[in-house]
A and B are shown apart, each in its own frame.
Chain A
């Protein structure tokens, strides 16, 4: 009897180590009409379906936390050796200031030339994407320069997430954490 129980328990052991992570959210039914850093139209996530997507959320007037998120995306891409089946995406939640050309300059400042998609677009579409991805943002403090220019800053979620080839969100991480690249690489290598 004891042996039978043990034999029955072994499959449970293997099931618990399966390679299919739980689906956190399904973005497959959504479609957001956005622009990339070259002003080319991007239907997200439709245009990226069939690839894994590692995606972070940023705004370019945030040189601290958002630069950590961007650096983590770059590190993941490097550590995976620039994989063809994984797309790397950084979406802004500040579409008014983060135009395609601003995002292009931002990418250049990080030495990013290709293999990365930065997303912006019409505010309605951008914030619909943010709602869908459960990324929160809220204008916090404003500053005025001596010549009268208004600057504002944004409190925001700190997130990198991974979508599978069916555009389902399967992993979420604290985007700026230094340990995140190694965890993402490990997770992706486990499921790919």
Chain B
């Protein structure tokens, strides 16, 4: 009987070990992944994205209502999301509340600043400014290095 049970256990383990299958399930990314503050390289006429963090240092709640940059024809805050039918998409975010001392994270796969129809090439090593527009704090400059 012991041998039979051992055999069944052995086979069960083998199926667990070897049946990862051909399709991987989505894995949630860690919320603690550090943000690499940067803007992606891209060619003139193309699209780039900026990643950084913004912390509300005011004693009161604030709201991010927009973003601008002189290097792109259109600059917006976008959010990457999964559609109901399982596709990946982006949508514009126009009002982002920020509580006192709260940090808003702009990162790959989440909130990010989109720079569309770039006026010039963005090459690694370049430095670029984007400006967040907030209701209370006003215009806040964020200077970023271009890198992959």
**Chain A interface (Cβ within 8 Å of chain B)?**
2-3, 5-6, 9-10, 12-13, 16-17, 21-22, 24, 60-65, 67-68, 71, 102, 105-106, 108-111, 136-138, 140-141, 143, 145-147, 149, 151, 153-158, 170-174, 176-180, 183
Contacts and interface: CB of A to CB of B under 8 A. Distances in A.
Given A109-B41, A151-B74, A13 B22 contact: no
25 contacts: A2-B4, A6-B3, A6-B7, A9-B8, A13-B10, A13-B14, A17-B17, A61-B46, A61-B47, A61-B116, A64-B78, A67-B49, A67-B108, A105-B42, A109-B41, A136-B85, A137-B87, A143-B74, A146-B74, A149-B117, A155-B88, A158-B87, A172-B24, A173-B23, A177-B24
Contact of B22 (A22, A140, A153, A179): A22
The 9 nearest A-B residue pairs measured at CB: A155-B89, A105-B43, A63-B49, A145-B73, A109-B41, A155-B87, A17-B18, A6-B7, A9-B7
B11 A172 contact: no
Given A62-B47, A183-B24, A67 B116 contact: no
B88 A180 contact: no
A64 B41 contact: no
Please indicate which of the listed interface residues B27, B90, B112 has the most CB atoms of chain A within 10 Å of its own CB.
Answer: B90
A62 B49 CA distance: 9
A180 B25 CA distance: 10
- Please tell me the size bucket of the interface on B: 35 or more
A180 B24 contact: yes
